[in-house]
Amino acid sequence: MSLLDKNKVMKQFFKFDYQTEIRLSILLFILFFLLINFEIVYLLNLSKKGWNEESLQNLKGGAYSTSQLWQNDPGNPKTIAKIKSLLPLWGLKRVDILNQHGDLLFSSDDKIDIGRLQPADSSLNLFKSKLTSGKNFFSEIYPGPQKRFYQSYFYPFTDYKSQATLFCRVEKEVSRLEWMERISRYEGWVRGLGILGVVFMALLLLRNIFSPYQQMKRKAEEEKIFSPSGKKEDIESVVEVFQKVITELKEKERKLQELYVQTDNKARNLERYNEYILRSINNGVIICDNQGKISGFNQSAQKLLGPDFDLNYNQHYKQALAKNHALCNMLEGLVIKKDLSAETEIEIDGKRQPTRFLLANSGLLRDENENILGLVLVLTDLTELKKIQQKIVQQQKMASIGEISAGLAHELRNSMGALLGYCKMLKKGIKEGSTAYPVVESILAESLTLENLLQRFLDFAKPLEVKWIKFDLLELIRDCIKIAQEKKPEVKFSLKVEGEMPLLPGDPLLLRQAFQNLILNSIEAVSDNGEIKISLKKSNDEREPIIELIIQDNGCGIPEGNLDQIFKPFFTSKEKGIGLGLSLVKKIIDLHKGKIEVESETGKGTIFSIFLSLTEPEIKPESAKVSNLKTAEVSI
């Protein structure tokens, strides 16, 4: 049962309304206050009585003990010392021995002149008239030095030597009793004022309690929340209205809380959704506020810019992009000119990553009122597109070279055929010992060299046709190593195969030519005690399974400035080279839909990495078996 239900049951039982209950509560409070007041007075009187009795007992005990000591041996120093030791025991301030005339015979206060037999102090003059009676008595409480109060007790006894009646006077501080007495004098006034104050406060409290209820009732009637009824008391009606309003407010609060939670969840979901979008796209996105400070970016932006650019939140874009003036200038132009958008191509040439080409699009962020909120920068990777463009240009150049070479070959080979025929006829008509014979041989050798060069031009320029079959790549590599070892046997070869090697789709004759060119280049680059490492393994790239072939040597290496040029036709660093070997290698790998990469460092060696696809639809395998060679290291 709730507290409200209990109140209703009690009210029905006693037939009390709320106003009566409040008045009774105030009356009980006043009665309780009076009870506490009388209790305090009773305790005060009880304490006063206890302290008074204690003080009187100490005075009597101290006087009796002193008189006994003085009777046995009056005036003895030991007796005087014992008397002084009684002072703290009984809580006394001072002890005196007097005759019936009030003359001082002994005092525990060393400052008093005993020999002159004068009154000890002014307080003795108050009690001289009572000393002649020869009876014991207590003095009234009298003031002393430093606003303190004292009480004395006079105890008569007989001196054994002189048989005279003497008085022992003991004095004790009773300031506490005096203050209690003064408080008791004003006790009635204080009690009466307290009761009047409590009654006044009760009336004021009743007024303050009923006034808000009356105001609430008037407001409720004005707002037509309820109609006044004579059956219910005013406060009861107001309380019911108040409870009804609270119930409605709690229900509205609950609905508002639900709406807030739903709205907050939607906002959080939308924020996470935007984060997922930024995280998922490959384009880099950098967002700045009105002050140019970075308020958001995705990982693609950091990846595209590379490790040389360190993006951080609340960092100004001029500081984050300081290493690329083109980006800074583009964003600065947006801020100054308030252009809607800008676009430019930039090149990121980092020391710790390959060169990247990026398309940068930037624009101003605006709200529905066209107010500028900040900047947005979108980065798109053009590196692969640039490579494709370069490849197209290379292919166009190769096609032009092929046309030129075909024309040259057609014209020159006719002339070379006639020249070789005449040289051979001239050689037959000259004896070996004659002086003209070596000249004719030199002409014939140079003619054959020229014809060989023309043939290589024709081989490079003519379109190559791939005859797709499945063959054992491991056996082909072994044959290439064997041929290369015959040319330079002092070079050490090592072949490493990881896992099982499947049959590779492709043209074995063209691939043999490509691999032999690479191995022969490595032989020419290494010294007599050089080493060439070849490794094969099957792996997977992003879309399909591939075979990775790596040819590594520890030769002289390729200068960094030549790495982008080595696959171009007619580029060579050799004295007798013509620059078509690596161009032909790349052409063969491209025809097999593969990829070739090179890494080199001057003085340390070169690494050629070739990636060939294992997927080729509808290729009829020829009689070739799969190599079952597991991961192994073979030295040839």
What φ, ψ does residue 622 adopt, rounded to 5°?
-90, 180
**Mean of the per-residue pLDDT values of the chain:** 78
Q: What is the pLDDT of residue 308?
A: 74
Give me the half-sphere count of Cα atoms (radius 13 Å) on the Cβ side of residue 114.
Answer: 11
For residue 9, what are its two tokens?
Answer: 């049951």
Task: Enumerate residues 6+ apart whose C-beta is below 8 A from 142.
Answer: 123, 126, 149, 150, 151
Q: What is the pLDDT of residue 120?
A: 41
Q: What is the pLDDT of residue 1?
A: 52
Q: What is the pLDDT of residue 232?
A: 52
- At 341, is the secondary structure helix, strand, or coil? strand
For residue 361, give the nearest of 345, 349, 348, 373 by alpha carbon.
Answer: 345
Task: Enumerate residues 6+ apart whose C-beta is below 8 A from 44.
Answer: 180, 183, 184, 187
Strands 284-289 and 294-297: antiparallel
> What's the pLDDT band for 634 if we cut at 50, 70, 90?
very low
The predicted-structure confidence for 142-182, as pLDDT tens digits, reads as follows 887 888 888 888 999 888 777 888 889 898 888 887 787 77
For residue 376, give the nearest of 309, 317, 318, 302 by alpha carbon.
Answer: 317
Structural domains in the chain plus CATH codes:
45-185 (3.30.450.20), 281-381 (3.30.450.20), 387-461 (1.10.287), 469-635 (3.30.565.10)
DSSP string, 325-337: HHHHHHHHHHHHH
Strands (E), 575-636: 595-601, 605-613, 632-635
DSSP string, 184-225: HHTHHHHHHHHHHHHHHHHHHHHHHHHHHHHHHHHHHHHTTS
Distance CA 561, CA 568 (A): 13
> What's the pLDDT band for 609 if we cut at 50, 70, 90?
very high
Strands 492-498 and 531-540: parallel
**CA atoms 241, 243, 249, 251: torsion sign:** negative
Global pTM reads 0.38
Q: What is the pLDDT of residue 536?
A: 93
Q: What is the pLDDT of residue 551?
A: 94
Give yes or no for residue 89 having a pLDDT over 80: yes
Residue pair 122/104 in contact (Cβ under 8 Å)? The answer is no
More confident residue, 226 or 248: 248
Q: Tokens 């020419």 appear where?
A: 524
Task: Enumerate residues 6+ apart whose C-beta is below 8 A from 459.
Answer: 584
SS (H, E, C) 344-394: EEEEECCCCCCCEEEEEEEEEEECCCCCEEEEEEEEEECHHHHHHHHHHHH
Torsion of CA 420, 426, 431, 436, to 10 degrees: -90
For residue 589, give the nearest of 525, 526, 512, 537 by alpha carbon.
Answer: 512
The predicted-structure confidence for 419-471, as pLDDT tens digits, reads as follows 778 788 877 878 777 887 888 888 877 777 677 666 666 666 666 778 889 99
The predicted-structure confidence for 39-69, as pLDDT tens digits, reads as follows 877 887 888 888 888 888 888 898 889 888 8
For residue 631, what are its two tokens?
Answer: 């991961």
